[in-house]
Structure 1
Amino acid sequence: MANVEISLKEMMTAVEGAMGAAVVDYTSGMALGTMGGGKDLDLAVAAAGNTDVIRAKVRTMEHLGLKGEIEDILITLGSQYHLIRLVKGRTGSGLFIYLVLDRERSNLAMARHQLKRIENEIEV
Structure 2
Amino acid sequence: MRIARIFVAGCLLVTSLGAATQALAGDVEIVDAKARSSGDSWTFSVTLKHGDTGWDHYADLWQVYTLDGALLGERVLLHPHENEQPFTRSLSGVQVPDDVTEVIIRARDNVHGVSPQEFRLKLDR
State TM-score, norm by structure 1: 0.30
More strand by share: 2
Q: Which has the higher contact order (CA 8 A, sep 6+)?
A: 1
Which of these two proteins has the greater Rg computed from alpha carbons? 2
